[in-house]
Every structure is written in structure tokens, then in C-alpha cells.
Amino acid sequence: MRIKDHKACLIIPVENQVRELDPKLLLACIAARRGFTAIIGSHREIDLQISAFPASLYLNKSMTDRNLKMFRIMKKIGHQIVTWDEEALVHLPAETYYSRRLSPTAIRYVSQLFAWGKANAELWRQYPHLPREIPIHITGNPRCDMLRPEMRPFYEPEVKKIRQTHGNFILVNTNFNHVNAFFPAQNLFKPAKVEGQEPVFGKAAVGMSRQYAQGLHDHKQTILDTFKQMIPVLDKAFPDHTLIVRPHPTENQQVYKDIAQRCERVVVTNEGNVVPWLMATRAVIHNGCTTGVEAYMMGVPAISYRAEIDDDYDLDFYRLPNLISHQCFTADELIETLNRILRGELGVADGDDRKILVDQYLAAQNGPLACERIVDVVEDMLATQPNLPKPPVAERLIGRGLSLKRRVSRLLRNKLPGSHAPPEFHKHRYPGASTQELNTRIMRFQQLLGDDSRITAEQVSDQIFRVSLSSGV
């Protein structure tokens, strides 16, 4: 695959399709109407074919040691890296966040940082290895654009379908991927190979101390157990409502499906983006989940069910979503609060303290969209160099060779037993989308934005698309 050179190109990889595709497609649309070409699609496929693209701005979602090899390859090829952190809204305590999410070496390859809000920017500024020359832009995140009133109609077709299928329902969002991951190797701890041996760190524990990881594991496992007990209780308590259990995208759903088989009205699904499900539900139940923040922003009543409490984790890690939700500490309290919500006596958790807290964490709640603010920064970057500088020919050849080597290695490694990210996992996270699906969504965005530009998506490779203005526009 070769892609023709363009004046400016923005590469937008998507790792988790149900969570990221829509907001990143919105970003691609806004970039396209400003004259950029946007390459969007499967993160895995884009990285495997990174040498096929012209020198571009690559929008990454993290700055960890795992990014380092790709960053070096992209630098040699001629790509510039701009970044936000998908996990910087509801994040680990600062020191653990730094060791897990920020690499002092990887961050030196980044040219621009896009923060969710003031709190995120300050978190980065306190990082002792932050290069002074990297600007931090408080732009907000495209995922929050989809929560704004003017963008919510985008999901009306999905909302209608959900309501027709499920009627009145209560949404339960889980986030126990630390202890109930799609593959055991992705948990905080992998099972010991020999009985009596100490379990070894899994992928989720990278950057954590053993003490912190063990404490988090025990706490999350206990909360998971309370949710497993809660689901049948709610099934019996609310016979007029379906209970939709929506696991985290990287969770193993089987534990919930086993429970559903013993219940009357429990449905387990991870279908589509969470926003239309929030729009369609009467209430959402979670514990320390980003869904609590999303629900608050959309005016949807949210309950944090905290039958087990550990302030070392609840206040440091899960502070934001818990504090801006109604908090219930027993099953009886949960049932009573839900009844009040369903009767219309109780709405979204409100108050000035909650609004002040949210304002610290989330920018672009009004005014220009986060996507527009990000593209503004990109335009400023390229104002003096519309064509990104190309490294020397020798460097580019080395980069292409390293890219080919990595591609072959990755394809072989993913087929080996015990791979932490086998092909079926990638399929789970990015099931795929068609050109027609993307163009339908682009048309919806254009209608909401009041933009009559002819923006289209065309497929350029397997699960990789070019979004740009149509020729002649």
C-alpha cells in the first residue's frame, strides 16, 4: 500500500472502536473541512503500515515505554507525534500514573500535548521529566464533544433502536478489567504457573509497586463480587425494567453472562458507543467509572454503588466519577435511590461543588468544540511549515526497515501461545467498520455542524480510511 503525498496529513489511530471511533471521526471531519487529509482506522493496522504514509502528524493516545519503539520508527520516517492521554481523566495517583503512563524517554518524541482540562495539564506540569519545550494545550477531548447538547442528536437513530429493543432499562456499567480481563495476562496479576509461587505482574500492573497493585487487585475483586451479588437483587427488585449490564471493553463478559442466565431481565452487551445507552437509560450504576462523568455531563442520574470502601483507592483513583454521582453503600440504599429516580423525585447529582470539580477536569464544555481547538493547534503548528520536514534519506530507509522488521515480528508473535494481544483480542477491540458506515456517520456530523462541505471517507487498506474533501470542492 502506498498513499499519495498530501500537503498535510493527520493520522488518527483508533484502538477501542466502540469508545473512540465516533469522536475521532468527528475530529477527522473538522480537520478535513480545514483542508487536511485525515487517515483514520484500526490502531494495529495503521502501526503495521506506518511506513506507507507520507510524513504526517500522528495523534497518539499515550506516552508509555510500550510506545517507544513506534515513536523511534515514526521519527526516522518523518512523522511528528502529538498526543493526549485517554487515561488522564480518571487516573491513578500521580506517582503511580507517572510510572505507568509516562515514559521519560517516549515523551521526548512528542511535539504537542492536548489536555482534557486544567487538572490534566497540571498533572503533566508536575511530571519531573516533562521537557520544557513541549507545549500543553488545554483543548478538552473529542470524547467530551459527543456529550454536548448540540452533538447528542448524532446518536438519535441508535437511541431509538435501543429503546425499541429494550424498553425501560437501568444501565450497569462495569470497569473490572484489572481483575476480569479479556485475557488473564492483561489482569493485574497472572495466575502462578506453579502452585505456591507468588503471582507475577500482568499487563495492568506495569508501573505499579507490588504493594499498590496487590491492594488495588483486592479492592477491585471485592467490588466485582458486590456487583455480581447486586445484579440478581436488582433483577428481582425492578420487574418493570430490563437490567443492561455493559462491561468495560477489555473485560471478559462471561462472568456477567453466567449471572444473566439465572435472571429474568438481565442483558449483557457491549454494543456501540456508551453515549446512546446513557441517553436511552433511566439511570446508570457504576463504581469509579468514567461513565459516571459522562452521565453527569449529559444530565443522566448516576449512582456510584460503594458497598466496599477503600479510601486509598476510591479517593485517589476514582474520586471524580464517585463524587459527582449519588453514592449508595448498601443494596437497600441503592434500591431506594433507584426508586426515587424512576419516580422522578431525584435527578442528576448537582451542586456548586460538583460543578467546580468538573470544570477543573473538563475543558470545552461550551464554545468551540475540543476537536476545533485541537485542529487550531495543528494549523498553528503548520503555519510556517505546511510540509513537514523530511529526515535524511538514510534515516528514512532505516525507519522503513525497522517498520518492516516490527511488522513481521508482531505478526509472528501474535500467533504464539500466550501472546498478550492475539488477533482475537484486536478483533474484540476493533471489530471493524465499512466505508458506507463511516460515510453515513460523516453525513450526520456534517448536518449537525451545519457544514455543506463534501467530506467523504474512502478505504485505502484493511480497516484504514482516508477522510478528506471530495475532489472539486
pLDDT digits (tens, 9 = 90+) for 407-426: 888 777 766 665 555 667 77
Q: Is 460 exposed, middle or buried (0-12, 13-18, 19+ CB in 10 A)?
A: middle
Q: Give bridge partners of residue 42 from the DSSP assignment.
A: 14
C-alpha angle with apex 397: 396 to 400, nearest 5 degrees? 85
pLDDT of 3:
47
What is the pTM assigned to this prediction? 0.93
pLDDT of 472:
52
pLDDT of 429:
80
Backbone angles phi, psi at 201, to 5 degrees: -60, 140
Q: 295-317 burial string, b = 16+ CB within 10 Å, else e? A: bbbbebbbbbbbbbebeebbebb
DSSP assignment of 331-373 equals HHHHHHHHHHHHTTS--S---HHHHHHHHHH---SSSS-HHHH
Rounded to the nearest integer, the mean pLDDT of the chain is 92
Residue of 243, 118, 248, 124 whose CA lies nearest to 175: 248
pLDDT of 5:
41
pLDDT digits (tens, 9 = 90+) for 219-259: 999 999 999 999 999 999 999 999 999 999 889 999 999 99
DSSP assignment of 381-438 equals HHSS-SSPPPPPHHHHHHHHHHHHHHHHHHHHHTTSTT-SS-HHHHHHH-----HHHH
pLDDT of 198:
82
pLDDT digits (tens, 9 = 90+) for 351-387: 999 999 999 999 999 999 999 999 999 999 988 776 7
Could you tell me if 187 and 181 are in contact, meaning their C-beta atoms sit under 8 angstroms apart? yes
Q: Which three cell numbers stand for residue 128?
A: 519531573
**In Å, how far from its chain's centre is CA 181?**
16
The CA R_g of the chain, rounded to the nearest whole Å, is: 22
Q: Give bridge partners of residue 469 from the DSSP assignment.
A: 455
Sign of CA dihedral 231, 235, 238, 240: positive
**In Å, how far from its chain's centre is CA 223?**
22
Tens digits of pLDDT across the chain (473 residues): 444 444 679 999 999 999 999 999 999 999 999 999 999 999 999 999 999 999 999 999 999 999 999 999 999 999 999 999 999 999 999 999 999 999 999 999 999 999 999 999 999 999 999 999 999 999 999 999 999 999 999 999 999 999 999 999 999 999 999 999 988 889 999 877 777 778 899 999 988 999 999 999 999 999 999 999 999 999 999 999 999 999 998 899 999 999 999 999 999 999 999 999 999 999 999 999 999 999 999 999 999 999 999 988 888 889 999 999 999 999 999 999 999 999 999 999 999 999 999 999 999 999 999 999 999 999 999 887 767 888 999 999 999 999 988 888 877 776 666 555 566 777 778 888 999 999 999 999 999 999 999 999 999 998 999 999 986 54
Delimit the domains of the chain by residue range: 9-147+366-469, 152-361
Residue of 284, 301, 414, 404 whose CA lies nearest to 348: 301
- The CATH topology of domain 152-361 is Rossmann fold (3.40.50)
